[in-house]
């Protein structure tokens, strides 16, 4: 079942982080390969011709693309260790709904916060906070979105924490001030080795964003 596992990734990618966390939670060894997105490897282009994007999980030579699909795949293949997706069909549907929500909103809004200025940025910040508040509502009093243990929604969302500092600096606002419950949840997640080791340092991500802004003249 283990076989050969390779993850083609890029260190600041929150999508790549999802698969890193899932694999770490289950204690599955794999080879991590860093991609230079300005000079993509032949392997990446071959394994993901439709999108040419990371992350790509290669299991025994066969590619699985798209982070949410990878996390589901990892959970199904290594189902006996640290299950991430609930076993009850309705709970699964709820978890999938929120992961879909995170995918539709968080990355795009976060990108607008660091890429834009003025009114566009102000609107993005407002909507971003609203989305985090909705997620706080879903979390409620639970330790994790997954209940007592890390689950699918936790794995999908927590990587964006590594970008929070960059969003805050670029947008001149404090996420913790607006969404303290969210940050409290993040801190609980970060106490887990699987999460702490999979997320890059926030300051590094901020430096990376500043570089991108220079390159794109933003």
Chain position carrying tokens 């794999």: 30
Judged by CB under 8 A, the number of residues near another protein is: 23
In whole angstroms, the minimum distance from the beta carbon of 118 to another protein comes to 25
Residue 134 found at the interface with another protein (CB under 8 A) = yes
In whole angstroms, the minimum distance from the beta carbon of 62 to another protein comes to 6
Nearest to 114 by CA among 172, 174, 167: 167
In whole angstroms, the minimum distance from the beta carbon of 191 to another protein comes to 29
Burial 102-129 (b: 16+ CB within 10 A, else e): beebbeebbebbbbbeeeebeebbeebb
Binders of another protein among residues 3 to 62 (CB under 8 A) are: 50-51, 59, 62
In whole angstroms, the minimum distance from the beta carbon of 14 to another protein comes to 17
Residue 77 found at the interface with another protein (CB under 8 A) = yes
Nearest to 150 by CA among 76, 82, 71, 213: 82
Residue 67 found at the interface with another protein (CB under 8 A) = no
Using a CB cutoff of 8 Å and minimum separation of 24, what contacts does 42-45 make? 43/8, 44/8
Residue 93 found at the interface with another protein (CB under 8 A) = yes
Nearer to another protein, 18 or 59 (CB): 59
What is the rounded distance in angstroms from the CA atom of residue 145 to the CA atom of residue 136?
Answer: 9
Of the candidate residues 31, 34, 76, 201, the single one contacting another protein (CB under 8 A): 76
- Sheet containing strand 5-9, edge to edge, reads 31-34, 5-9, 56-59, 62-65
Q: CB–CB of 10/34 below 8 Å? A: yes
CA contacts within 13 A on the Cβ side of 58? 16
Tokens of 166: 């960059």
Nearer to another protein, 133 or 169 (CB): 133
Of the candidate residues 33, 40, 52, 96, the single one contacting another protein (CB under 8 A): 96
Binders of another protein among residues 173 to 212 (CB under 8 A) are: none
Residue 64 found at the interface with another protein (CB under 8 A) = yes
Chain contacts with another protein (rule: CB under 8 A):
50-51, 59, 62, 64-66, 68-70, 72-73, 76-77, 89-90, 92-93, 96-97, 100-101, 134
């Amino acid at each position: 079942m283990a076989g050969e596992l390779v993850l083609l990734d890029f260190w600041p990618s929150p999508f790549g982080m999802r698969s890193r966390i899932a694999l770490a939670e289950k204690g599955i060894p794999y080879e991590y390969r860093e991609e230079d997105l300005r000079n993509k490897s032949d392997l990446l282009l071959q394994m993901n011709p439709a999108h040419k994007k990371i992350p790509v999980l290669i299991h025994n030579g066969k590619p699985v693309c798209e982070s949410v699909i990878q996390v589901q795949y990892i959970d199904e293949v290594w189902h006996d260790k640290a299950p991430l997706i609930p076993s009850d069909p309705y709970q699964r549907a709820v978890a999938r709904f929120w992961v879909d929500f995170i995918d539709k909103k968080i990355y795009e809004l976060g990108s607008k916060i660091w890429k834009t200025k003025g009114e566009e940025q102000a609107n993005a910040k407002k909507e971003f906070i609203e989305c985090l508040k909705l997620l706080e509502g879903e979390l409620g009093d639970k330790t994790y979105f997954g209940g007592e243990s890390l689950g699918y929604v936790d794995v999908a969302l927590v990587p964006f924490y590594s970008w929070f500092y960059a969003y805050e600096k670029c947008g001149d606002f404090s996420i913790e001030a607006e969404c303290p419950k969210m940050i409290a949840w993040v801190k609980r997640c970060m106490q887990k080795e699987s999460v702490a080791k999979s997320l890059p340092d926030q300051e590094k991500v901020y430096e990376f964003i500043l570089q991108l802004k220079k390159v794109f003249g933003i």
